[in-house]
Amino acid sequence: MLFNKDELEEATQLVHRFIPPTPQYVWPQICEKADATVWVKHENHTPTGAFKIRGGITFIDWLKRTEPATKGIITATRGNHGQSQARAAAAAGMKAKIIVPRGNSVEKNAAMRAFGGNIVEFGDDFDAARLEAARLAEEEHLFMVPPFHTEIVRGVATYAFELMEAAPDLDTIYVPIGCGSGICGIIAVRDALGLKTKVVGVVSTEAQTAKLSFESGNLVETDSANTFADGMAVRVPVKEAFDIYSRGADRIVSVSDDEVAEAMRIYFHDTHNVVEGAGAASLAAMLQERDVIRGTNVGVILSGGNIDADMFVSVLQGATPEPG
């Protein structure tokens, strides 16, 4: 067990000092499409528009307590993790340098700057940016914030704690996988609460490192992660996350960019919520498996709503965006 219930309650209390709980709603039109009772966890309603904000709160709190002399942090991101860390670091009086790949979301970059992040573009994808962040951390004496850390997971897990306390009888939860904090948070809460909920990870067909690793039982890197759903655009699996979801997930499914774009349109038309690619992936996967989950209680994690306006317009017009 990754955390016990007391540790999760403590993290939830800490997170709620900074942000309110997010809602989980049962939307009738989505239930009709799935022929199931579907709970949508709205992590697009946080102050940064994504679930990552929770992990930033708990990680920086931990860092302040364990490394009080730290003056600044550095991390790599496609946007949501970077907003989380920049916001929490600024509140703690620390500097934050954020490494993003070239061509990253313009609006996510702007949000990170607004939260106090110093944005540096490097490399063609997240994994190249992650290596540069590690190099600069040593060179500039900054604390390297990894994409996956126990304290980040404990914070992220608070969204799962809210959801499973509100809806403890869920048969299945679908959750997107990037570096893995989201799915590991779900597994941690499920186990701490002694529930039998099946956890299904979701990846892009163009970024299948987590699925290939899960199915082979070994870490499998891919040559590319060429999806517009940038929150899932990861080529290299994170071992610490793999060690958890390889044991705790029921299965991992892949969704195409076309399926993700259609799920984004469904969210907007049926609920009037703006959703980014990775945020819609769990709905896309659930609809792909509607025959499997028909008549059951299902949770889907809407993990973020941070998408550039021009890209969202193209999605609403029926297009599938090209990867950035």
Number of domains observed in the structure of the chain: 2
How far separated are the first and last CA of the chain, in Å rounded?
Answer: 38
Same domain as 101, residue 61: yes
Q: Let me know whether 163 and 39 are in one domain.
A: yes
We report the CATH number of the domain holding residue 134 as 3.40.50.1100
Cβ atoms of residues 323 and 206 within 8 Å = yes
Q: What is the pLDDT along the chain (324 residues), one digit of tens a residue?
A: 799 999 999 999 999 999 999 999 999 999 999 999 999 999 999 999 999 999 999 999 999 999 999 999 999 999 899 999 999 999 999 999 999 999 999 999 999 999 999 999 999 999 999 999 999 999 999 999 998 999 999 999 999 999 999 999 999 999 999 999 999 999 999 999 999 999 999 999 999 999 999 999 999 999 999 999 999 999 999 999 999 999 999 999 999 999 999 999 999 999 999 999 999 999 999 999 999 999 999 999 999 999 999 999 999 999 999 997
Per the structure, the complete domain to which residue 58 belongs is given by 53-144
Find, among 322, 314, 206, 207, the residue nearest to 265 by Cα. 314
**For the chain, how many residues are written?**
324
Same domain for 291 and 253 = yes
Residue (of 300, 264, 290, 271) closest to 35 by Cα position: 290
Distance between CA atoms of residues 98 and 101, nearest Å: 10
